[in-house]
Amino acid sequence: MIILNLTLKGIYGFDDFHINFSYPKKIVNSIIEHEHLEGRERFRYKKAVILMGANASGKTSLGKALLRIFGFMIDGNAAPLFEMSAGEHGYVSIDFVNADARLQRLNIQIDTVRHETDIQYLTADIDMMDSYEKCVTKLKDRTAEATRTTAALKKLIGPVHYRFAYPEIEKTLKLTGANKQVLLKTLRAVIGTLDPTLQDVRLSKDLKDTFIIRRGDTEIIIQDGKLLNRELLSSGTVEGIDVAMFLAAILTRESSFYYCDEHFSYIQSDIEKRIFGIMLDCLGPNEQLIFTTHNTDMLDLNLPKHSYVFLRKHLVDDRYQVSAISASDVLKRNTDSLRCAVENDVFASLPQDSLLDELEMGWEDEPR
C-alpha cells in the first residue's frame, strides 16, 4: 500500500485537509533508495515521511483516520467511518497504489444522520513512463463495478497490508518460525540498548508464541505480542518493546504501509535517530513509512526536504483548521536550512505559548 494523496473534510479535527505524498523531481544522491514505484521510475512517491507538529495538531488523528479507511477497504464496515466524522457529513478521498501497477482512487461521502455512505471508485493503469500527475488524468470511473456486490470493492482493491503503532492499538506479530527469530534478535538489540540489565531475552520452551525477558530472578512475559507485566519496566523500555515489534514487522515484510506515531517520547534522541535509520534501510520496494515525532534532532538527518511534512492548526473564520506543509514546497534551494526554518517557525508548526507568557507576567504582579 502506497498513499499518494489524501483529502479529509469533517473527519476528526480535519476540515478541508489535504496532504500529498508524491514529489515531482528526482533527487540526486538521495539516501532513500527506490523512492518510486518498482519498474516505473517516473511514478515517484515519498517513501519515508517524518511528520512533525505541535501537540493536538493532528498527527495521531491522521493515523486513526487512515486505519479506519483501510478497515473499510477490507471489510466494507462503515461504522468506524461514522465514528470519525465530526458532524452530520464527512468526506474522504484517497489515491493509492496497492500490490499492482494501478492507481486507485476511493471517494467516500459519509452521512452520519442516515448512517449511509456513498462511494466513488476510479482506477488507471500505470504505464512505464507515467508519473503520478499524468496517471491522475487517466482515471476512469468504475463505481458501478465496485458497488455491484458487497464484496466487489474489496476484490477490486486487493489485499491491504498495513502496520500501525500507537498506544491504543494492541501490538501483535504473525509469529512464524522465521519471524520469531527476527523478533527475538530485534528485542535483544532494542531493549538491551535501552536497559543493559535486560539482555537475557529468550523464547519460551513451554508457552506458545511467548518471549521471556529476565532481570535477575524476575521474568517479564510477552505473549502473543502482548506485554503482560509492564509495571515492572520503565516507560522507555515499554516503548522499546513496541518499537522492536514494529521494526520486526518491517524486517519480515509483514506489511507494505507503516505508521509509527510518537513511540519515542521516553527514548533518547540519538537512539530514536538510529532506529529510524534502521527502519529506513529495511524498507523494501513499494513500501511506505510515516513516522511522527516531536524530536527536532530528526531535522539533522540527511534526508530530502520532501521527506519532512509539518502539521499546523490555525484559526480560519473563528474555526480551527489543520493544514499540512511539505518542507520542499517552502525551501526551494539546496542551501536552505531546515532546522533554521523550523526554529524561526517558517512552517507555523511550533506551539503557541503566549498564554504562558501571560502567566509569567501575571506572577510578577502577585504580592510576595
pLDDT band at 357 (very low <50, low <70, confident <90, very high): confident
What burial letters (b/e) apply to 94-124, b meaning 16+ CB within 10 Å? bbbbbeebbbbbbbbebebeeeebebebbbb
DSSP 170: P
pLDDT of residue 237: 86
Return d(Cα 62, Cα 53) in angstroms, integer.
12
Q: Among 142-156, 211-225, 285-299, 353-367, which is the least confidently predicted range?
A: 353-367
Q: Which residue has the higher pLDDT, 8 or 362?
A: 8
Q: How far apart are CA 71 and CA 108, in angstroms?
A: 13
More confident residue, 143 or 200: 143
Greatest pairwise CA separation for the chain in angstroms: 75
How much is the pLDDT for 120? 98
Which of 99, 85, 17, 2 shows the shortest CA–CA distance to 311?
17
Domain ranges, ordered by start, for the chain: 2-160+304-354, 177-278
Interval 332-352 mean pLDDT: 86
Using the 8-state DSSP alphabet, how is residue 262 labeled?
S
172: confidence class by pLDDT, cuts 50, 70, 90 = low
Statement: the pTM of the whole predicted model exceeds 0.85? yes
What amino acid occupies position 15? D
What are the CA-CA distances from residue 105 to residues 95, 110, 126 (Å)? 4, 16, 13
Three-state SS for 19?
strand
* Alpha carbon distance, N-terminus to C-terminus of the chain: 61
d(CA 192, CA 194): 6
207 secondary structure, DSSP code: S
- Evaluate if residue 302 carries a pLDDT over 70: yes
| pLDDT tens digits, 127-164 | 999 999 999 999 999 999 999 998 999 999 999 999 99
* Helix or strand run (H / E) with residue 33: none
pLDDT of 313 above 60 = yes
